[in-house]
Amino acid sequence: MFFWLKAILSGFLIAAVSSLARRYPAFGALVASLPLISVMGMIWLWQETKDPVRMAAHANATFWYVLPSLPMFLLIPLALKNGVPFYAALFAGCMVTAGLYFLTVWVAARFGVTL
């Protein structure tokens, strides 16, 4: 039952953001940029585990994984403005992000940060 509650609430949030962005692109972007999914994920994880060590590790890793995802939000509009089709721009943004995730894990390990 808890799984379905999580799925419905999470899906509602995504649908609300996309509907809002259709009418008010900047406001939709603002709402999408809020860490609502991260907060909901932390609430779901806490409800299921009540484990402060796991929660701390999750929040820490989330911080480090947000950083390499940010360039995607610059690459996609740049590609679109230069005539790249949407799905190609999205794919490129996702591939760059994936590469940056691997680089982040590698660099973080060099500084003793375990992700």
**Please, are residues 55 and 46 in contact by the beta-carbon 8 Å criterion?**
yes
pLDDT > 90 in the chain, percent: 66
pLDDT exceeds 90 at position 84: yes
pLDDT on residue 33 = 81
Q: Per the confidence metrics, is the pTM higher than 0.85?
A: no
Within 13 Å and on the Cβ side, how many CA atoms surround 60? 11
State which H helix or E strand residue 115 sits in. Answer: none
Q: State pLDDT tens for residues 94-109.
A: 999 999 999 999 999 9
pLDDT on residue 13 = 84
Task: Tell which residue, 30, 8, 7, 9, has the closest CA to residue 20.
Answer: 30
User: Which carries the bigger pLDDT value, residue 68 or residue 2?
Assistant: 68
pLDDT on residue 115 = 86
pLDDT on residue 34 = 79
- The whole-angstrom separation of Cα 103 and Cα 109 is 10
- The whole-angstrom separation of Cα 92 and Cα 52 is 37
- The whole-angstrom separation of Cα 85 and Cα 87 is 6
The mean per-residue pLDDT over the stretch 16-44 comes to 86
pLDDT on residue 31 = 82
